[in-house]
């Protein structure tokens, strides 16, 4: 009888508290890393919760190459949960030469592949694709971005994927260069499938007040981070002014994902150190 009670209790825990089995602690932000496929196993060994891949590279694979990638991912103990570089520079999102048919063909094919890989959030940064041509109306370009996001929202929904729009520093594109501007775009789109990325590197480069995180709140679907001094792996709390950024994420109850998007000269040594630093910073009340 005792065994039966334990069995029933275990089943109840599995049904009611799935993180008991998955290992994910409720309310804890997950830490991942942006890497190509040849580094997947290294990310797993380092202890990351997930990997973020390049969407355009996955879209450009032949069918056989994609099957090989899917097979490799299936062998991992961590998911490939996020993707970036959604739209290649050759597919224009703004300006006089936009081609909605080409846009949608790419989006449909890419999101279909990413769904098969288990991706649940796709970052729409794509600075080249959204660069406004000289002399073109900025207001019209903004409206084109809003229109594009609205058109792709149903495709994202059908694939169970959230599109997270990423504000980029002015050196990488010339529209939506701050979280404040990104928030305005997401609010203009007004679709649940289209949310926001807050990238600490771009936030710091733009000298933007991290208080904007409080205004964005639940519209933040994903985050990126790098040490702004060299765009390298973040290793210690004192190397940059991370404090207000993390404090505000805690205040809004952020429990999504944070990907390291940076370079390193020694992944094996620096990845675990960076992971430990970020987990401590995002522990919120546990600090």
Per-residue pLDDT of the chain (287 residues; tens, 9 = 90+): 333 333 333 333 333 333 332 333 445 899 999 999 999 999 999 999 999 999 999 999 999 999 999 999 999 999 999 999 999 999 999 999 999 999 999 999 999 999 999 999 999 999 999 999 999 999 999 999 999 999 999 999 999 999 999 999 999 999 999 999 999 999 999 999 999 999 999 999 999 999 999 999 999 999 999 999 999 999 999 999 999 999 999 999 999 999 999 999 999 999 999 999 999 999 985 54
CA distances from 133 to 98, 130, 166, 286 (A): 11, 9, 19, 48
Q: What is the pLDDT of residue 92?
A: 98
- Which tens digit of pLDDT belongs to each residue from 207-220? 999 999 999 999 99
Find the angle CA(136)-CA(142)-CA(146) to the nearest 5 degrees.
140
Given a contact cutoff of 8 angstroms between Cβ atoms, the answer to whether 95 and 132 are in contact is: yes
Q: What is the pLDDT of residue 187?
A: 98
Q: Which CATH number fits the domain 27-286, given the four candidates 3.40.980.10, 3.20.20.150, 3.40.50.300, 3.30.420.40?
A: 3.20.20.150
Quote the CA–CA distance of 212 and 94 in Å, as a whole number. 26
Number of H helices, E strands in the chain: 12, 8
- Which tens digit of pLDDT belongs to each residue from 26-50? 458 999 999 999 999 999 999 999 9
């Amino acid at each position: 009888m005792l065994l039966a009670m334990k069995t029933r209790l275990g089943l109840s825990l599995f049904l009611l508290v799935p993180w008991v089995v998955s290992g994910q602690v409720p309310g804890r932000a997950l830490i991942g890393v942006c890497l190509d496929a040849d580094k997947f196993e290294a990310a797993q060994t380092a202890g990351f919760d997930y990997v973020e891949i390049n969407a355009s590279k996955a879209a450009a694979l032949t069918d056989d190459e994609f099957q090989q990638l899917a097979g490799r991912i299936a062998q991992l103990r961590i998911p490939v949960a996020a993707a970036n570089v959604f739209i290649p520079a050759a597919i224009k999102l703004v300006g006089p030469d936009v081609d909605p048919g080409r846009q949608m063909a790419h989006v449909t094919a890419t999101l279909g592949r990413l769904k098969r890989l288990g991706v649940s959030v796709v970052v729409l940064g794509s600075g080249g694709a959204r660069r406004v041509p000289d002399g073109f109306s900025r207001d019209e370009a903004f409206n084109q971005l809003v229109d594009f996001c609205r058109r792709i929202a149903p495709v994202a929904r059908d694939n169970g994927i959230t599109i997270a729009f990423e504000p980029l520093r002015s050196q990488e594109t010339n529209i939506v260069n701050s979280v404040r501007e990104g928030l305005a775009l997401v609010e203009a789109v007004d679709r649940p499938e289209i949310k926001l990325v807050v990238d600490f590197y771009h936030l710091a480069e733009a000298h933007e007040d991290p208080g904007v995180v409080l205004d964005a709140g639940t519209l933040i679907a994903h985050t990126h981070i790098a040490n702004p001094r060299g765009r390298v792996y973040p290793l210690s709390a004192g190397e940059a002014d991370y404090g207000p950024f993390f404090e505000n994420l805690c205040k809004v109850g952020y429990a999504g994902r944070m990907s390291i998007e940076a370079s390193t000269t020694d992944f094996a040594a620096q990845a675990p150190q960076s992971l430990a630093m970020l987990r401590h910073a995002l522990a919120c009340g546990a600090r």
